[in-house]
Amino acid sequence: MASVYNWQLGREMTYRFDQAAPERQFVAIFNINRCIACQTCTMACKSTWTFSAGQEDMWWNNVETKPYGGYPQHWDVKTLELLERANPGGQTWGGAPAAEAPYGVYGGRTIFEAASLGQQAVGYLPSDEEWGSPNIHEDSPVAKAALSDGVSLPEHRTWFFYLQRICNHCAYPACLSACPRNAIYKRPEDGIVLIDQARCRGYRKCVEQCPYKKSMYRPDSRTSEKCIACYPRVEGSDPITEGRPMETRCMAVCPGQIRLQGLVEVAPDGTWVQAPDNPLYYLIREEPMAMPLYPQFGTSPNVYYIPPRWVPRQYLRQMFGPGVDDAVAAYERPSRRAQAVLQLFRVTQSIIFSFEVVEGPKVAEINVGGRPLEIFDDTVVGYGKDGEEVVRVNVREPQYERPAQYLNTI
C-alpha cells in the first residue's frame, strides 16, 4: 500500500497506488439551498448517455430527498455503518484548520484504511431492490426507513433537503483501486475517471467499493458503466462548443441555477495550486463556502456542496465534515466578493477559468441575523481558457417592465 496526501482529511492516508495527480481536476459546486428537485439534470443525463436497453436502472445523475431518500437506498448509511463497525466511535476530527488541512485532521479510518486483508476498501453490493426506486421518499420529512440489516433511522418532523449526486471523479477513486482488471483510469489532463469498456469483465468490484455507489452494472453488456463527466464537452471537442471547454449537460440545463463546474490546477503532491480568481477555488478554498460530501470516506470527492441552512448541524457535520458551520455562516452573510461570484452559477455554458469583480455602487442594506449586510451592485466578469471574456453579470438582477400593450396577450 502506498501513502498519499489527502488534503480534505489533513493527513496522509493509505491507497493502492502512488500519488499520480492530474494537471487539472474536474470540480463542481452544487448549491443545495437553491435546488427545486425538478430532475431536469437527471433527465438531461439520461437522454444523453443512458437511454439504451440494459441501462434502465442507471441514473448517473440523481437527486434524492434527504434524510430518507437515496439511490441506491441507504447507500450512505450503510457505508457509514461499515466504517463504524471497523472502528467504533472513530469517525472524529481534530486539530485547527490550516492551509493544507482546511477542515482540521480526520482521526478515524477511511474506507481504504478500514479494509480487511485482501480487500482494497470496505464496501457492499446493493441489492436489486435497493437499485429499484431512484426517487424513493421524495419530498418526505417523515418516512420511516428500516434498513435491511435491522438498523433503523429515527423519525422526525420538520426538515428535508435535496441532494444532487453524480460521480465525484475522486482524487483517490475507490472504483479504480478496486478493479482487478485495471480497467478504470483517471485522465491526467482533467482528472475525469473513466471505465475502459474493452477491459471491463463485469466483476463489479467498482460497484461494491465506490462508497457513493456511482459505478453501475449493465447486465446485457456485462460491464460496469459510470458518469463520464460529458468529457467531449469539457475537452471542447463537442461540435456545439466551437472548441471552447463547456460544462456538462446536467450543469448546463439546471433551471434552479444551483450548479457551477470547472477545472482547478493540481500540484504533483495532490494539493490544489492557489488560484483565488478561479470561481471554484474561491468558493471552496478561499471563503470557504462549499464542502465535500462525506470526506471521511477518503476518496477526496470533487463535487462540493453549499450546505442547506435549515438542517440540524449534527447531521450536516457528519455529511460534510466539521467545516460546515463556517460554510453555512459564509453563505448566510456572504462577503462582497462572494455575492458577486455566486452570480456566476448558470449564466454561461462555457467553463469559467477565472473571474474579476468590478466594484459598483451600494444599492441596499438588509438585515441578516440582527446585523446589517450591505449589498453592492458589483459586476463579475468570467473569463474562458484563453483569457477571453465569456460572461459579464451584475449582482443586482435587471428588471424589465413590459409595455402595457403586451399585457395579457399570451
Positions that interact with ligand SF4 (CB under 6 A) = 35-41, 63, 164, 167-170, 173-175, 193, 210, 212, 214-215, 226, 254-256, 258-259, 299
What's the closest the beta carbon of residue 179 comes to ligand SF4, in angstroms? 10
What's the closest the beta carbon of residue 9 comes to ligand SF4, in angstroms? 15
For residue 101, the cross-strand partners are 98
Closer residue to ligand SF4 in complex, CB, 184/284:
184
What's the closest the beta carbon of residue 227 comes to ligand SF4, in angstroms? 7
> Per-residue b/e over 293-316, b at no fewer than 16 CB within 10 Å?
bbbbbbbbbbbbbbbbeebeeebb
Closer residue to ligand SF4 in complex, CB, 123/288:
123
**C-alpha dihedral, 126 to 128 to 129 to 130, nearest 10°:** 30
In the numeric block, which cell numbers belong to residue 100?
A: 493544507
Residue appearing with cell numbers 448566510: 332
Closer residue to ligand SF4 in complex, CB, 73/354:
73
What's the closest the beta carbon of residue 286 comes to ligand SF4, in angstroms? 24
- Backbone φ, ψ for residue 98 (5° rounding): -140, 175
Spatial contact of 250 and 44, defined as CB atoms under 8 Å apart: yes
What's the closest the beta carbon of residue 228 comes to ligand SF4, in angstroms? 11
Closer residue to ligand SF4 in complex, CB, 302/354:
302
Question: Considering only CA atoms, which of 353, 49, 29 is closest in space to residue 218?
Answer: 49
For residue 84, the cross-strand partners are none
Closer residue to ligand SF4 in complex, CB, 292/322:
292
Spatial contact of 97 and 288, defined as CB atoms under 8 Å apart: no
Question: Considering only CA atoms, which of 281, 263, 260 is closest in space to residue 346?
Answer: 260
SS3 329: helix
Angle between helix axes 313-320 and 324-332 (nearest 10 degrees) is 110
What's the closest the beta carbon of residue 40 comes to ligand SF4, in angstroms? 4
What's the closest the beta carbon of residue 225 comes to ligand SF4, in angstroms? 10
Closer residue to ligand SF4 in complex, CB, 167/291:
167
List, in order, residues 6 or more apart from 152 with CB less than 8 Å away: 144, 145, 146
SS3 184: strand
Closer residue to ligand SF4 in complex, CB, 214/285:
214
Closer residue to ligand SF4 in complex, CB, 258/283:
258
What's the closest the beta carbon of residue 59 comes to ligand SF4, in angstroms? 12
Q: Which residue is nearest to ligand SF4 (CB)?
A: 256
Q: What share of the chain is helix, strand, coil (3-state, %, to 5)?
A: 20, 25, 55
